[in-house]
Amino acid sequence: MNFIETNLQGCFIIEPKVFHDDRGHFMESFNQNTFENGIGQKINFVQDNQSFSTKGVLRGLHYQCGEYAQAKLVRVLEGEVLDVAVDLRLDSPSYGQSYSIVLTAENKKQFFIPRGFAHGFLVLSDTATFFYKCDNFYNKESEGGLIFNDATVNIDWRFPADELIISEKDQVLPTLENAKKVW
């Protein structure tokens, strides 16, 4: 696996080694030792989640606060998404900045988002199956969110705004200035 740190400290793009032959392909999607060596920290994933969505669905931007903060390792099993992380760590030099990456079933890239970040994704293909590991269990009382179109963060979703499909809950999330603090 190849680990590439982004401009947001602690966020990594992970490119697996894919072995192709006339039968198809094989890849190791996760190896605890390789992963921890690649990101330079210990991590223990405790929950796997999977979602299926159609084109234009925007899920996010979500995060967990305090003792329930979550790191995530995300990938696409089918389709294509624009995946976005926003640094919410108040003491970080990249506080309020975002990073976007296109994840596809074809490119097989993964994206690691450490604790202290909001996360969301937009489906670019007709459908997409999104899979992610979390290092902490979900806790409803600790959930936080950031509105997808916050002018301060200024995310380019690369999609017509009037065609986005966003849940009612995600449409009323606060701006960065008013968002719940992660710690």
88 upstream amide cis, omega within 30 of 0: no
Query: 């401009």: which residue's tokens?
Result: 7
Strand partners, 53: 128
Catalytic, 132? Answer yes
- In the set 63, 99, 119, 132, the catalytic residue is 132
**CA dist 153 to 63, 87, 157, Å?**
16, 10, 12
- In the set 62, 63, 99, 119, the catalytic residue is 62
Catalytic, 63? Answer no
80 close to 128: Cβ distance less than 8 angstroms: yes
Pairing, β 2-5 against β 12-15: antiparallel
Catalytically active residues are 62, 132
